[in-house]
Structure 1
Amino acid sequence: MSGETNIGTIELGRTGERVSSVALGAMQMGNATAEPEAVRILDRYRDLGGAFIDTADCYEWWARPGSRGGESEELLGRWMRERGNRDEIFLATKGTALPAHSPDLWNADGSANWELARRTFAGAGADTLRHALDGSLQRLGTDHVDLYYVHVDDRSTPLEETLEALAGFVTAGKVRYLGWSNVRTWRLERIRQLCDRYGWPAPVALQQQHSYLRRRAGLSHGSFVDDEQLDYLAEHRDLSLVAYSPIVKGIYDDPARAAEHWMMESYAGPDTDARLTAVTDHAARLGVTPNQLVLAWLLHQDRPPVLPLIGPRTLAQFENLAPAFGLELGAGDLATLDAAGA
Structure 2
Amino acid sequence: MGMQTIELGTTGQQVSRLALGAMQMGNATNEQDSVHILDRYLEAGGSFIDTADCYEWWARRDSRGGESEELLGRWLSRGGRRDQVFLATKGSALPEYSPQLWAADGTADWDLARRTFAGAGGDTLRHALDGSLRRLGTDHVDLYYVHVDDRATPLEETLEALAGLVQAGKIRYLGWSNVRTWRLERIRQLCDRYGWPAPVALQQQHSYLRPRPGNDSVSIVGAEQLDYLDAHEDLTLVAYSPILKGIYDDPAKRAGHWAMEAYAGPDTDARLAVLAEVAAEAGVTPNQLVLAWLMQQPSPRTIPLVGPRTPEQFEAALPALDVKLGEDQLRRLNAAGV
Regarding TM over 0.5, the answer is yes
Does residue 173 (structure 1) correspond to residue 169 (structure 2)? The answer is yes
Q: TM-score, normalised by structure 2?
A: 0.99
Amino acid paired to 2:5:
T
Amino acid paired to 2:199:
P
Amino acid paired to 2:292:
A
Partners of 1:243 and 1:299 in 2: how far apart?
Answer: 10
Amino acid paired to 1:63:
A
Question: Shift in Å at residue 6 of structure 1?
Answer: 2.6
Report the counterpart of residue 10 of structure 2 in structure 1. 14
Question: Shift in Å at residue 50 of structure 1?
Answer: 0.1
Q: Which moved more, 1:278-287 or 1:240-249?
A: 278-287
Q: Report percent identity of matched pairs.
A: 73
Question: Shift in Å at residue 298 of structure 1?
Answer: 0.4
Does residue 243 (structure 1) correspond to residue 233 (structure 2)? The answer is no
Partners of 1:254 and 1:60 in 2: how far apart?
Answer: 27
Question: Shift in Å at residue 260 of structure 1?
Answer: 2.3
What count of residue pairs does the alignment treat as equivalent? 338
Partners of 2:309 and 2:298 in 1: how far apart?
Answer: 28
CA offsets 1:227-283 (integer angstroms, 9 cap, x no match): 111111111000110000001011001111111211110111111111112112221
Report the counterpart of residue 153 of structure 1 in structure 2. 149
What secondary structure sits across from 1:266 in the alignment?
coil
Question: Shift in Å at residue 222 of structure 1?
Answer: 0.9
Does residue 292 (structure 1) correspond to residue 292 (structure 2)? The answer is no
Aligned with residue 321 of structure 2, among 322, 325, 339: 325
Amino acid paired to 1:241:
L
Question: Shift in Å at residue 62 of structure 1?
Answer: 0.4
Report the counterpart of residue 219 of structure 1 in structure 2. 215
Amino acid paired to 2:112:
L
Report the counterpart of residue 39 of structure 1 in structure 2. 35
Does residue 193 (structure 1) correspond to residue 189 (structure 2)? The answer is yes
Partners of 2:301 and 2:26 in 1: how far apart?
Answer: 31
Report the counterpart of residue 135 of structure 1 in structure 2. 131
Partners of 2:104 and 2:308 in 1: how far apart?
Answer: 29
Q: Which moved more, 1:138-147 or 1:278-287?
A: 278-287
Amino acid paired to 1:257:
K
Partners of 1:31 and 1:260 in 2: how far apart?
Answer: 26
Unaligned runs of 5+ in 2: none
Question: Shift in Å at residue 160 of structure 1?
Answer: 0.2
Partners of 2:105 and 2:193 in 1: how far apart?
Answer: 50
Q: TM-score, normalised by structure 1?
A: 0.98
Runs of 4 or more consecutive aligned structure 1 residues displaced over 6 Å after TM superposition: none
Report the counterpart of residue 53 of structure 1 in structure 2. 49
Aligned with residue 257 of structure 2, among 234, 245, 261: 261
CA offsets 1:130-179 (integer angstroms, 9 cap, x no match): 11000000000000000000000000000000000000000000000000
Question: Shift in Å at residue 340 of structure 1?
Answer: 1.1
Amino acid paired to 2:168:
A
Amino acid paired to 2:249:
D
